[in-house]
Amino acid sequence: MTRKVLLVDDDAAVREALAQTLELADYHPVTAGSFVAAKDHIRDDFPGVIVSDIRMPGRDGFHLLTYTLEVDPELPVILLTGEGDIPMAVRAMGQGAFDFLEKPCAAADLLEVLGKAFATRRQILEQRALKRELARGDPAARLLFGLSAQAEALRQRVRTVAPTGAEVLVTGPAGSGISKVAEVIHLMSPQGQGSFVKQPSSGLTPEALVQVCEDAAGGSLFLDEISAMPEATQYAALELVEQGVGARILAGTTVDLAALSAEGQFLADLFYRLDVMRVRIPSLAERPEDIPVIFRHYVAQAAEQAGIAEPEISSEHLATLMVREWPGNARSLMSAAMRFVLGMPEEVSQAADLGLSEQMAQVERSLLIAALGRHNGKASDAAKALKLPRKTFYDKLARYQIRPEDYRR
């Protein structure tokens, strides 16, 4: 979300000073000297927060607040009050203002309130976006969560491969939801009305493979962790694929199947037949901005399963989740959501125990990994995207022991 702030004050000197403060904190201020000038910027999809003086000639901050809440009742408005206006500001809070600050306000106080308002606005816009996707009845939107570029790329890839009816190889780190993605592909495919049969590949015999193919006839057969399939069954699978079975074959793996086949540890011909179309699921480390969205979904799901009210999730809690490492990806995030709903002790507290420098280091590491993931492990492109000199970028990779090749697809 763009960090945009609509700054409304009739005093040009105050506007300029506040705008400079916001720019230094990486916000994008848009200034207006009156309610009339600000009105055209206020809309229900405004990607930010409004900061307005209360006392202005003509229509004052109360008019602006009333108009804003009519356009979007969930758009945060922070009011600035002069000396003696505190009772007026308290009344404004009762009418729906997000918060108020007394002028002249310290930069730290303004930025603290803005941070809370932006976290609230981000959550609101994320939830609206998900509701719009759900309303379209698109399984990719309903079941594959996230608002990052990587999440949208994953959904688009699924939408592309699903209607083809061809074999699909779904790859991703452990716990990333490979079987879920395979199920979405099935739902969106010509075989979507048939059965979705999930079959672990480890220990699968050729005879059992034939049986599950028959069970999946007219639908899709998902061979989970196909790298563990016994050699004899791999030959049987190749023969069935070449003959054309009555089910669409989807395969999943958490390891590099191409490398295994090159080393002779997996049947190369079967790999080539299964790798007709590939779908790669990015790790949470590559898209930390999706963690709050996915966590909120799991919390709602866990609360429903437990039959209890869904607890509120603070912005601070979501922030600690974003700086944690999630080696188990979505699976471990789901477990954290269940513990959160049940009020159990949570490892998330370990992030809160860190000092500011340690927390910022974790955030920086997450952003570096996310950039490499978006750019297929190409360090030069990732450095350019982060607007870092190449040497600085490589120094940071060395500091955090990040290898670009780990994020190449």
* Domain shared by 96 and 221, yes or no: no
Same domain, 114 and 51: yes
Query: How many structural domains does the chain have?
Result: 3
Torsion angle (degrees, nearest 10) of CA 86, 88, 89, 95: 150
Residues in the chain, total: 409
Is it the case that residue 168 has pLDDT exceeding 90? yes
350 pLDDT higher than 60 = no
The average pLDDT across 397-406 equals 82
Banded pLDDT at 349 (limits 50, 70, 90):
very low
Q: Does any domain span residue 222?
A: yes
Query: What was the pLDDT predicted at 352?
Result: 46
Q: Is 394 or 157 the better-scoring residue by pLDDT? A: 157
CATH number of the domain that residue 249 is part of: 3.40.50.300
381 and 300 in a common domain: yes
Q: Is the pLDDT of residue 346 over 80?
A: no
DSSP-assigned states of every residue in 192-256? TTS-EEEEE-TT--HHHHHHHHHHTTTSEEEEETGGGS-HHHHHHHHHHHHH--SSEEEEEESS-
Cβ(212)–Cβ(245) below 8 Å:
no
Check whether residue 227 and residue 243 sit in a common domain: yes
347 has pLDDT over 60: no
Q: Are residues 294 and 398 in the same domain?
A: yes
Structural domain harbouring 273: 146-282
Predicted confidence (pLDDT) at residue 134 exceeds the cutoff of 60: no
Percent of the chain with pLDDT over 70: 90
Best-predicted range by mean pLDDT among 125-139, 144-158, 220-234, 339-353?
220-234
Q: What is the pLDDT of residue 333?
A: 92
pLDDT category at 135 given cuts 50, 70, 90 is low
Cβ atoms < 10 Å from Cβ of 173: 21
